[in-house]
């Protein structure tokens, strides 16, 4: 099995952004020893796209104007078609999905199997309402975004994958909950700012992997966008021991690494922190 993180510098042009995604998938496929019929010789491949991969850097109403009903819409149809074409499990970054309130959307991560079926959806729980010393200055996601309420995993041919998005990485309780429900991989579509990324990105991702003894696949936006917003990039794949296995610093591109179930089993057997955690096993009322 292969883990792939795709890094983009997305714009407001949906077609242009999908062209970037397809170029990366095509590049990956050319170098990944495919069977003639399109199935991957090394088992399933999990591809993770960044947060806001299809729409980025426009005015505050951009996502509201392009929000889709979950399970139906042109962005979701394109994601499904890519999963089929490249025979991958595809975590479609995030897209704007309708809520009951016409002035709020969910930042939603949708997942597709190689048959193009939407097998999971996760609405970002923690919203980025933060002041940052960059070209944008202040971020208020809650002005247009509704917070999600569900912890979500999906089964990828016997491997459990947990879903989180960007700012969620600062809340270890979510990752601990996903691990307690059996996650062996957690994916993190992201669009970290330059200052917060430089300060905390690597530390947070390695800590979440170490604490929970699982793989973290974090796909980011990585450059200066049309509206001047600066994103940190440095898409990473981190193993259960906290080692960075692959990294793309800035710009567009993809990184990949094999998934090693035996490594997870060995680390959890040698250091069974889930059994040793007295807060969850003994001290909670």
Q: What is the pLDDT of residue 285?
A: 60
pLDDT of 59 higher than 90: no
Three-state DSSP at 115 gives: coil
Tell me what the mean pLDDT of segment 2-17 comes to.
97
Question: Where does the pLDDT of residue 60 fall: very low under 50, low under 70, confident under 90, or very high at 90 and above?
Answer: confident
Torsion over CA: 65, 88, 23, 6 (sign): positive
Q: Considering only residues 41 and 228, tell me which one the structure prediction assigns the higher pLDDT.
A: 228
Q: What is the pLDDT of residue 96?
A: 97
In percent, the amount of the chain with pLDDT more than 90 equals: 86
φ/ψ region of 170 (left if φ > 0, alpha if ψ in -120 to 50, else beta) reads: alpha
Please give the average per-residue pLDDT across 53-72, as a whole number: 90
Question: 56-65, 181-190, 227-236 — which is least confidently predicted?
Answer: 56-65
Contact between 54 and 93 under an 8 Å Cβ cutoff? The reply is yes
Element (H, E) at 253: strand 253-258
With cut-offs at 50, 70 and 90, classify the pLDDT of residue 140.
very high
Taking alpha carbons only, the member of 51, 65, 192, 38 closest to residue 110 is 51
Active site residues: 51, 124, 166
Residue 136 pLDDT:
81
- Average pLDDT, stretch 141-150? 95
Whole-number pLDDT of residue 46? 98
- Per DSSP, 36 falls in state T
- pLDDT, one tens digit per residue, over 91-123 is 999 999 999 998 999 999 999 999 999 999 999
* β-bridge partners, 6: 254
What is the average per-residue pLDDT within 148-169? 98
Residue 93 has which token pair?
Answer: 């970054």
Residue whose tokens read 């003894």: 213
Query: CA 80 to CA 89: how far, in whole Å?
Result: 10
Burial class (CB in 10 A: 0-12, 13-18, 19+), 177: middle
How high is the pLDDT of residue 67?
A: 96
Q: What is the predicted pLDDT for the residue at 133?
A: 85
Torsion of CA 72, 115, 156, 188, to 10 degrees: -50
Condensed to tens digits (0 to 9), the pLDDT of residues 29-45 reads: 998 754 334 444 568 99
Q: Which residue in 153, 21, 147, 145 sits closest to 80, CA to CA?
A: 21
Going along 79-152, which residue ranges are E strands?
A: 89-91, 95-98, 105-112, 118-123, 129-131, 138-140, 145-146
- Check whether 232 has a pLDDT greater than 70: yes
Q: Which residues, including other chains, have CB under 8 Å from residue 172's CB and lie 6 or more apart?
A: 207, 208, 211
Is domain 2-281 annotated with CATH 2.40.160.40? Answer: no
pLDDT of residue 36: 34
Q: What is the mean pLDDT of the chain?
A: 93
Alpha carbon 80 to chain centroid distance? 16
**In DSSP terms, which residues pair with 217 in a beta bridge?**
187, 237
DSSP letter, residue 224 = B
State how far the Cα of 215 lies from the Cα of 200, in Å rounded to an integer. 18
What was the pLDDT predicted at 268? Answer: 97
- Cα–Cα distances in Å, from 49 out to 9, 58, 208, 267? 11, 19, 19, 28
Give the model's confidence band at 144: pLDDT under 50 very low, under 70 low, under 90 confident, else very high: very high
């Amino acid at each position: 099995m292969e883990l792939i993180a795709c890094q983009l510098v997305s714009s407001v042009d949906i077609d242009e952004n999908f062209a970037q995604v397809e170029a990366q998938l095509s590049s990956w496929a050319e170098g990944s020893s495919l069977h003639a019929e399109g199935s991957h010789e090394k088992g399933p491949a999990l591809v993770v796209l960044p947060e806001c991969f299809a729409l980025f850097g426009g005015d505050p109403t951009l996502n509201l104007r392009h929000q889709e009903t979950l399970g139906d819409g042109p962005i979701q149809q394109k994601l499904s078609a890519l999963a089929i074409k490249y025979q991958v499990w595809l975590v479609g970054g995030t897209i704007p999905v309708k809520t009951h309130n016409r002035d709020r959307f969910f930042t939603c991560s949708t997942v597709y199997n190689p048959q193009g079926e939407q097998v999971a959806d996760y609405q970002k729980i923690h919203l980025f309402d933060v002041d940052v010393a960059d070209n944008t200055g202040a971020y208020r996601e809650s002005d247009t975004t509704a917070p999600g309420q569900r912890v979500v995993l999906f089964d990828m041919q016997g491997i459990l994958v947990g879903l989180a998005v960007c700012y969620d990485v600062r809340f270890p309780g979510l990752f601990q909950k996903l691990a307690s429900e059996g996650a062996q991989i957690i994916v993190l579509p992201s669009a970290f700012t330059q200052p917060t990324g430089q300060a905390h990105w690597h530390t947070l991702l390695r800590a979440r992997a170490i604490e929970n003894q699982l793989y973290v696949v974090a796909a980011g936006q990585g450059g200066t966008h049309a509206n001047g917003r600066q994103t940190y990039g440095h898409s990473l794949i981190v193993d259960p021991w906290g080692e960075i296995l692959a990294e793309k610093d800035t710009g567009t591109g993809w990184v990949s690494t094999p998934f090693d179930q035996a490594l997870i089993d060995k680390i959890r057997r040698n250091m069974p922190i889930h059994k040793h955690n007295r807060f969850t096993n003994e001290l909670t009322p």
